[in-house]
Amino acid sequence: MTDAVIRITDDRVQLHTNTRAFEWGLGDELVAVAHDPTGDTASAFTAALESGAPPQQRTDVGLRLYRAVFDAAPAGRWAELQAGASEQDPLHVRIDIDCPALARLPWELMRDRRQAWSRNNRVLLRRGRRVGTSAESPPEQGPLRVLLVVCNPADRRLLADQELAMIGAALTRLPGRVHTEVIDGPSLRELIAEVTHVRPHVLHFIGHGMRAVEGDTGGLHFNVAQPAVGPQDPRWEAPEESWTLGPEQMDHLYVSWQPRLVVLNACRQAHAPAADFADLVETCLERGSLAVVAMQADIESSAAAEFSHSLYQHLADAQSIDAAVTSARNHLHIDDSDGPSWALPVLQCGVEDPRDVVRVKFGHPEPELTRLNKSWPFAELGMFVGRAKERRTGWWERPDEAAAAPPDRLLAITSARPKSGKTWLAKWCLLTCMLRGEDVTYADLADYAGLGNGDEPVTLDWLAVLRALREACTDDKRQPTAMHVTEFARFNQVLNLAAQGGQRWAEGMPSPAFDLGHSFTVDADRHAEARRTEIFQAFLNTLRSRAVARRRPHLLAIDSVQRISESEFSEALLPLLLGPVQEGGGDFPLRILAVAPQSWPGFRHLQKFMEGSPVVLTDLQQPDYKRLAREFWERQRHQNRVLRRQSFQEFEALLDVMNGLRGSQQSFHLGVYQRVLDTWLAMGDVDGMEEAG
């Protein structure tokens, strides 16, 4: 909601609240700016945003803006409006500047004697006017989808990898709330295709833009040739042909999808005209975006990265866009109170309620949502880096099928190599689906198989698997949405009778509601197949009854499926467990996610049985090595106080030495980062690491 609108024309100020309206004259200094055809008088204000400007200059400009707007205001009206505001219930204020000359002024500096308004957590300030009604549609299901676009991957000065790493670090506290994907240096056609496929709620650009070269189009510049700075990434030795994303090109992006929020985290090179800056922002708003965040002057790349870190940290925490930007400003001000970076982000919002901009819905209310987010087995996922596209497993709905087809009911994750991240990916899938509203169970069969006399893993038969799954479902100390043991009472009764067969089973005699531990007797009678089928049906009916009662689908992840005997899997579990799950329907279906290596003989049976394709993980490729290393480091650094005193370059040096990857093109697995970090921490000090380098 908007609690107040301050509308500024070339000579008047209007204050609109929900119940009243006031009007007064604009101060002479700003009237002169509004009517200056040369724009020279505005430079006295905009100069305060230069990096060399002293802090007092920004304070003075902020006070001049405030006095020009409010000196003639009716006494006490603005103070009265602010009186009831608090950080828990802030005042949402929109500044609507109906004069191009005044719009280019740094309104984010405006302040009273206490502080700049744009850093006031009780009065949340934004620019813009309401231009559409699309936000009135219901929010989509989470997670919040973000497409991060690196405009010039070869330009080391952008610190794009650092910004991406900082965004990743911002999401460690509440993993699964925000889904991010990255595209590097795309052509316009590639960018359109990626936007169409990912359908991002947030489209975030990292780059340079707004050049003021005569005849050049104002916009974001892609793949511009840059002087070499340090070793070049082999992917970008020969960048694609350069191009500019201006208002006309931006039109093409909105044909099939309209991102709710666009973040232009790019400096305006050579101090481009404000008209160039405004045209791109207005194009986004007019084509359907609800808000745009852009920089109104040159911002240092390190400050841009810090801004992104704070912004996404607060968006993941479901803050409104004006609150998130205000918090990010304060984050920058704490880091550099004497610099201008905190005042550079401009939030233009085109909807009545800024909370609608990035609002997504999840399947649980707070605080239950956060409790589940932090429960076992998801605590470790804050350090899961990479695998962005594969993380959609289990919840992604393809655009052409989203309205008609439910998510796949039988899923699989596999790999030809160990330590490729199969388990992390499975847990990430469970986490995301749980946050979206499904009940989830994680069962690692390795925990139930044990070892034989020769320390070889024991293979499980079908009945041992069902018992393991029942134990996992009812493990209230570990499962985030555990079932109660009594929910399996009917299954246990059927199991006790059908496992042994004979007259008691045939007559349906009474049986205890707990498992008597019988093994399955094949030769008890000639109804072995019918008895086995009845046991599977009772197990599935238990899960289905629970799903219907709670009105939630149930996703069961079975890890270490290779612990199952191939014959038991193909002859029993495939037709009697996975088959009915795949064929079953209903409003609250069961789903199964199987995790196994490709080397397991039973995997070929599973692959033939599935409707969709399994997710096949390969080792990560060398071009991703440094980018993911930095993201891993930033995530660890924000969680580990010891590491905050160290630098990424020190960690990177040891990483290179221990893995022999200098100049190498070999692949690697995610575990290499943790292994190197553990080695470093075991050294105890930086000197030991430097000796290793």
Same domain flag for 94 and 169: no
Q: What burial letters (b/e) apply to 114-151, b meaning 16+ CB within 10 Å? A: eebbbbbeebbbbbbbbbeeebeeebeebbbbbbbbbb
Same domain flag for 446 and 559: yes
- Domain edge (last residue) among 127, 147, 169: 127
For residue 14, being part of any structural domain is answered with: yes
Same domain flag for 150 and 189: yes
Same domain flag for 431 and 561: yes
Say yes or no to pLDDT of 661 above 70.
no
Encode pLDDT of 137-148 as tens digits: 678 899 999 999
270 or 564, which is more confident?
A: 564
- Domain edge (last residue) among 299, 323, 356: 356
When pLDDT is averaged across residues 666-674 and rounded to a whole number, the result is 77
- 132-136, 237-241, 304-308, range with greatest mean pLDDT: 304-308
For residue 493, being part of any structural domain is answered with: yes
Copy the structure tokens of residue 156.
């080391």
pLDDT-derived band at 691 (thresholds 50, 70, 90) equals: very low
In 3D, which of 387, 382, 383, 479 has the Cα closest to residue 425?
387
- Rounded to 5°, angle at Cα 161 from 159 and 162: 65
Domain range enclosing 104: 4-127
Same domain flag for 101 and 27: yes
Residue given tokens 């199964």 in the structure block: 592
Copy the structure tokens of residue 328.
């990010």
Same domain flag for 386 and 505: yes
For residue 363, being part of any structural domain is answered with: no
Same domain flag for 220 and 344: yes
For 394, residues 6+ apart whose C-beta sits below 8 A from its C-beta are 407, 408, 411, 429, 430, 432, 433, 555, 591, 593
For residue 646, being part of any structural domain is answered with: yes
Say yes or no to pLDDT of 453 above 60.
no
When pLDDT is averaged across residues 665-688 and rounded to a whole number, the result is 73
Q: What is the pLDDT of residue 676?
A: 85
For residue 607, being part of any structural domain is answered with: yes
Phi-psi region of 128 (alpha: psi -120 to 50; beta: other; left: phi over 0): left
Same domain flag for 116 and 256: no
In 3D, which of 239, 184, 242, 244 has the Cα closest to residue 212?
244
For residue 133, being part of any structural domain is answered with: no
The CA distance from 411 to 417, in Å, is: 19
Q: pTM of the full predicted structure?
A: 0.91
Same domain flag for 351 and 374: no
- Domain count within the chain: 4
Say yes or no to pLDDT of 422 above 70.
yes
Beta bridge partners of 124: 92
Same domain flag for 461 and 341: no
